[in-house]
Each structure stands twice: as C-alpha cells, then as structure tokens.
Amino acid sequence: MRSAALIVLLGALPAAADGVVPAATGVDCYCTDSAGERVEMGETACLTVGDRSFLALCDMSLNVPIWRDTEHGCVSG
C-alpha cells in the first residue's frame, strides 16, 4: 500500500521534476547601458568601462541579463 501511495505522490510532482520548467510569463528582461538607458535583449550598445569603449550585446546568462563583449570597437560618427 505504501509503494502505491508513493507512486501517486511522485506522479503529482510539478513538471520541474522532469527538468522542464514552464516559461515565465510577464517577465520583462533588458540591459541598461552606461547612460542608464534601456537596451532590449539581442540589441547592441557601445559601452565605456574605464578608458575602454566596446560594442556589447545584451544577452542572458543563468536567467540574468548580461553584456557580452562582441570584440568590436564602437563606431564613431
């Protein structure tokens, strides 16, 4: 009887137990550039850190918005 109850309880666990986590809805992720402006996921911006300026991509890592260095310099007009 105990093993039958355990099987029923295990079957009732959420989908996360299978390693599948449902997508969050309504979560608005973005990056912020050096001037405090919002940059959407997948867009690039010229960032200046110290005395170095570089083109960076707004991306996600471990569910956290991050800047990835594209290894390209900023285009000056």
- Are the beta carbons of 53 and 71 closer than 8 angstroms? no
Sheet with 52-61: list strands edge to edge. Answer: 44-49, 52-61, 64-72
Which pLDDT belongs to residue 60? 93
In 3D space, the residue among 43, 51, 36, 37 whose CA is nearest the CA of residue 67 turns out to be 43
- Higher-confidence position of 23 and 42: 42
pLDDT of residue 24: 55
For residue range 33-63, list pLDDT tens digits in order: 878 899 999 999 999 888 888 999 999 999 8
Segment 1-5 shows an average pLDDT of 50
- Is the entire prediction scored with pTM above 0.85? no
Lowest mean pLDDT segment, chosen from 15-24, 28-37, 57-66: 15-24
